[in-house]
Amino acid sequence: MSTSRNYEREFVRTFFTSPTAVEGNEDTAKLLRSAAQLSGMEAPDTWIPDNEDATAPSMRSEGVSNIIEVVSEHGATFPGEIHPRVVWHRDDPSKRYQGFQQMLEIADPGNGAVDHIDGFVIPEVGDIDDWKKADEFFTIVESEHGLEPGSLSMSVIVESGEAELAMGELRSEIGAPSNRLERLFMLVDGEVDYTKDMRGMTPTGGLPEWPELRHNTSRGASAAGLIAVDGPYDDIRDVEGYHERMTENRAKGMTGIWSLTPGQVVEANKAPLPPASGQWLLEIGGETVELTAVDEGYEYAGDEVTLEPTGDDQFRLKTGATDQTLDESALQEVVVDMTAYISGLDDMVDSMEEFEAAKAAGKGAIAMTRSATLIIDGVSVSIQTDRMWDEATYQAAMTPISLFQDVYENRPDQHEELAEMYGASVVERAMAVGTDD
């Protein structure tokens, strides 16, 4: 019995659902066909032709045919993974049987699609025994069609309280003799149905934030070696809101997010990648302002801070209600407290290389120094920040690099765009760090 997961990706940025069969079009496979031909930053890491909620019940049989047709034709060149979503419901055996039949039909080797199918997505799962029912159908599909046991991965949509609880049991259930839950791949939050199941209500009908659900999904994924993906962001025109949600999610350990449109795919593919260059920030009265890179350093061009030399090597610094007169060293200290730095990929690689060299030289911890000249109200202030790095810091700092490496290894179609964003030499160095671990 295999105990290793059956997927290569360690990170998934984009979970892109596209409607399967849209009634009313003459060609009901049209949207599927255009999704199947995406590439580069426009192509998702995982593409989910959706034969559940996005397809009317009466069209699902045609949806299966369309998936088979489009995946057979375009699957070989599609750069991401393909995981069709079939129907399922923890409370409805007839839905479950339909889901089983849809999988059986799509995975039939006779129709040529299965070579390009990486797995299936099962929505509306319930508690762990319900997950096992789905797993059993995967096993039968593999057995009937002569596929390698465990070769089809299973992802689930967590959209009920019982599924949220089930994520706490995965570690002790995966690998039991009577299941093959090692096939689990993505744990995806589905906040619309979850809100219904939890009976959540908000004044304007918007979705609640559900921070605890997202934490529990991320923790469940971490504990069981899976990948956590957040649900759809409804307001597809609100790019800034989508980015804020992704930033929040990454702080929770949730790297991936559902995309509803090709535009959202591009945003969601780029968002978790490290920035191409570093960025100094100044925090003023609760607000964070980006400094502008100029020849002499990084400049604050706003008027909410005033700074002037008062003679005698003293400086007067006014921000909001505080008004301080400081000598140079005290000024530097205050300015260090007011600033923050977002590392670019090149900075990250520099730091990793520096720590790796120190480790090779037998040092367990080193001070990582960053220097800059900030220009505030026309006055230059040279600052320097130190941070102690030990093995734990190094490994935590590795996360964005690992993500980058995972993308680079699995998405050759994005190499060109990555080289454009970062420059070829930074890409090469980024691929080299951390490999001695």
Residue 419: partners with Cβ closer than 8 Å, 6 or more residues away: 427
Tokens of 170: 């995965």
Closer by beta carbon to its own copies, 53 or else 353: 53
Site string for its own copies, 307-336 (x = CB under 8 A): ------------------------------
Which of 92, 328, 390, 409 touches its own copies by CB under 8 A?
A: 390
Take residue 320 and report the two structure tokens written for it: 């909001």
Quote the least distance from Cβ 275 to its own copies, whole Å. 8
Q: Which is nearer to its own copies, 11 or 138 (CB)?
A: 11
Query: C-beta of 145: minimal distance to its own copies in Å?
Result: 30
Cα 282 from Cα 303, distance rounded (Å): 13
CB of 26 to its own copies, least distance (A): 17
Question: Which of positions 195-254 make contact with its own copies (CB under 8 A)?
Answer: 195-206, 208-209, 211-213, 215-216, 218-223, 237-238, 247, 250-253
What is the full DSSP assignment across 106-139?
HT-GGGS-GGG--EEEE-S--SHHHHHHHHHHHH
- List binders of its own copies among 264-283 (CB under 8 A): 272, 281
> Within positions 394 to 413, which residues make up the interface with its own copies, using CB under 8 A?
395-400, 403
Q: How far apart are alpha carbons 377 and 381 in whole angstroms?
A: 10
List helix spans (H) across 199-238.
211-224
Nearer to its own copies, 172 or 382 (CB): 172
Which is nearer to its own copies, 104 or 281 (by Cβ)? 281
Instruction: Answer yes or no: 313 catalytic.
Output: no
Using the rule CB under 8 A, is 391 a contact of its own copies? Answer: yes
Shortest separation between residue 87's beta carbon and its own copies, angstroms: 11
Applying the rule CB under 8 A, the residues between 45 and 64 that interact with its own copies are: 53-59
Q: What is the nearest approach in angstroms of its own copies to the Cβ of residue 237?
A: 8
CB 201 to its own copies: min, Å: 4
Whether the CB-CB separation of 312 and 391 falls below 8 Å is answered with no
Binding residue for its own copies, selected from 23, 91, 304, 328, defined by CB under 8 A = 23
List, edge to edge, every strand of the sheet that includes 153-158: 81-82, 46-50, 14-19, 256-259, 227-230, 184-189, 153-158, 119-122
Sheet strands (E) in 285-392: 287-290, 292-294, 297-300, 305-311, 314-319, 322-327, 339-342, 366-376, 379-389
Phi, psi of 249 (to 5 degrees): -65, -40
Q: Shortest Cβ distance from residue 364 to its own copies (Å)?
A: 3
Residue from 91, 90, 88 nearest 60 by CA: 88
Q: Does 175 bind its own copies (CB under 8 A)?
A: no
Report whether 45 contacts 256 (CB < 8 A): yes
| Residue with smaller CB distance to its own copies, 112 or 275 | 275
Q: Quick check: helix, strand or coil at residue 44?
A: coil
Nearer to its own copies, 205 or 412 (CB): 205
> Could you say which of 234, 235, 390, 406 is catalytic?
390
Using CB under 8 A as the binding rule, whether residue 337 contacts its own copies is answered as yes
The verdict on 261 binding its own copies (CB under 8 A) reads no
**Token pair recorded at residue 313:** 């090597």
CA distances, 340 to each of 89, 284, 343 (Å): 47, 11, 10
- Cβ atoms within 10 A of the Cβ of 147, count? 17
Determine the Cα–Cα distance for residues 179 and 183; give it in Å rounded to an integer. Answer: 10
CA dist 244 and 392 (Å) reads 27
Element (H, E) at 329: helix 328-338
Binding mask 72-111 for its own copies (x = CB under 8 A): ----------------------------------------
Tokens of 26: 């003459």
For the beta carbon of residue 1, count every other beta carbon within 10 angstroms.
9
Name which of 33 and 215 has its Cβ closer to its own copies.
215
**Number of residues in contact with its own copies under rule CB under 8 A:** 75
Nearest approach in angstroms of CB 365 to its own copies is: 7
The candidate with the shortest Cα–Cα distance to 403, out of 276, 272, 247, is 272
- Between 149 and 253, name the residue whose CB sits nearer to its own copies: 253
Question: Least separation, in Å, of the C-beta of 396 and its own copies?
Answer: 4
Cβ distance to its own copies smaller for residue 47 or 194: 194
362 binds its own copies (CB under 8 A): yes
Of the residues 343, 405, 410, 414, which one makes contact with its own copies according to CB under 8 A? 343
125-164 mask for its own copies (x: CB under 8 A)? --x--------------------------------xxx-x
With CB under 8 A as the contact rule, the residue among 40, 379, 393, 432 that binds its own copies is 393
Q: How far is CA 322 from CA 289, 366, 379, in A?
A: 18, 35, 18
Catalytic residues: 390
